[in-house]
Amino acid sequence: MEMGRLIYPGRLALQQRVLPGYRAPFFELLARSCEKGMSLFAGSPRLSEGITLAGGLRITQYVTGKNIHLLKGALYLCYQLGLIQWLTEWNPDALIVEANPRYLSTSAAIRWMHQRGRPVIGWGLGAPPLAGPWSGFRKTRRLTFLRRFDALITYSQRGADEYVRFGFPKGKIFVAHNSVSPAPTPPLPLRPSTFHERPCILFVGRLQARKRIDFLLRACAVMESRPRLVIVGDGPERQKAELLARQVYPTAEFIGAKHGAELKPYFMQADLFVLPGTGGLAIQEAMSYGLPVIVAKGDGTQDDLVRETNGWQVPPNDFEALVGALRLALSDVKQLREMGKESYRIIAQEINLENMVETFVRALNSLNGKV
């Protein structure tokens, strides 16, 4: 093990419903911090989800189970076949599972661990307020479920606050800011004090309806500065987006899908990164290149990442708010550059894969030897 890195001295088991490709670097880094190894259990998504799964893992033992998907939408449930057999064979000292009561096999896994006096940590987004005719029943069920965990790990401070309001002990909640990027090793890119001819706005992501590329095209069309708009990505909405672009903003550039090192020149030439819809894994990568960001408010994972000092969060599906943020961002080049520097600092010092792993290990070590 490397000197100076926190280490979990035991054998770790970690359950996921599915293993998306973007999460593989985190699990590999976490496995390196487990002295006796780590095994990960996950199944397959529904065909309609369009999730790109991770390939083979080098350090983590990866065991595939069979997901049985039940019902749809708000009623969706999942049962994972093979979960207990995996636990029996791996015989872990601690277990981390997704803290989602919709996964019906999780309760049996918690029971298996606790019968052997071993801790279980839940990993979740939080516990937002419930509404509707069944809210009372759902709240009771959620609280009963959460109380079975020995600790909770959440992506954001908002998620931690929600768990506290729900009645979970504050001292057993750990905030591991959601990250898909390591701390940057190259220095902060130096950008000129003025825009090159006209400002360059960058979008990187899968072209889906929820990403609101239509908003971004229409917003650029009303900008007095007529910014250069570069759209990197592919997906089911590309043809529709290109048709709209020809009508409202024909200078928009559709680059297609790029990955890894192929993305570097687009991040380097941009002045501002904009994600007008929900989701988006490229925000942190954009920040690591010293870019200020405009994003739509989501589930809380962006609250700690996008601040007034490095960007703007706008309400989802609010076109006027997006236009206002764009106008403000492009009105002051000096301020924009300073915000880009703050983006870089946040990723370099606070929210990165290394710090996320360290929080997981701290949570595990806080429960080492006790339930």
Q: What is the pLDDT of residues 81-98, one digit of tens each?
A: 999 999 999 999 999 999
Asked if residue 144 and residue 20 are part of one domain, the reply reads: yes
Query: What is the pLDDT confidence band of residue 299, given thresholds at 50, 70 and 90?
Result: low
**Pairwise CA distance, residues 226 & 201, whole Å:** 10
In a domain, 302, yes or no: yes
Asked if residue 285 and residue 241 are part of one domain, the reply reads: yes
Asked if residue 217 and residue 92 are part of one domain, the reply reads: no
Asked if residue 152 and residue 84 are part of one domain, the reply reads: yes
Asked if residue 53 and residue 171 are part of one domain, the reply reads: yes
**Do 287 and 304 contact (CB within 8 A), yes or no?**
no
In a domain, 34, yes or no: yes
Average pLDDT score over residue span 291-314: 89
What pLDDT was estimated at residue 371?
Answer: 45
Count how many domains the chain has: 2
The three-state secondary structure class of 354 is helix
Query: What is the pLDDT confidence band of residue 133, given thresholds at 50, 70 and 90?
Result: confident
Given a cut of 90, is residue 300 above it in pLDDT?
no
Asked if residue 281 and residue 157 are part of one domain, the reply reads: no
Q: What is the pLDDT of residues 49-62, one digit of tens each?
A: 878 888 879 999 99
Asked if residue 80 and residue 64 are part of one domain, the reply reads: yes
Asked if residue 302 and residue 210 are part of one domain, the reply reads: yes
Given a cut of 70, is residue 228 above it in pLDDT?
yes
What is the CATH classification number for the domain harbouring 307? 3.40.50.2000
Asked if residue 270 and residue 162 are part of one domain, the reply reads: no
What predicted TM-score, i.e. pTM, was given to this entire model?
0.90
Mean pLDDT (the chain) is 93
In a domain, 3, yes or no: no
**Pairwise CA distance, residues 88 & 220, whole Å:** 57
**Pairwise CA distance, residues 371 & 359, whole Å:** 19
Asked if residue 41 and residue 172 are part of one domain, the reply reads: yes
Given a cut of 90, is residue 370 above it in pLDDT?
no
More confident residue, 328 or 128: 328
Given a cut of 50, is residue 207 above it in pLDDT?
yes
Q: What is the domain extent for residue 118?
A: 12-179+352-366
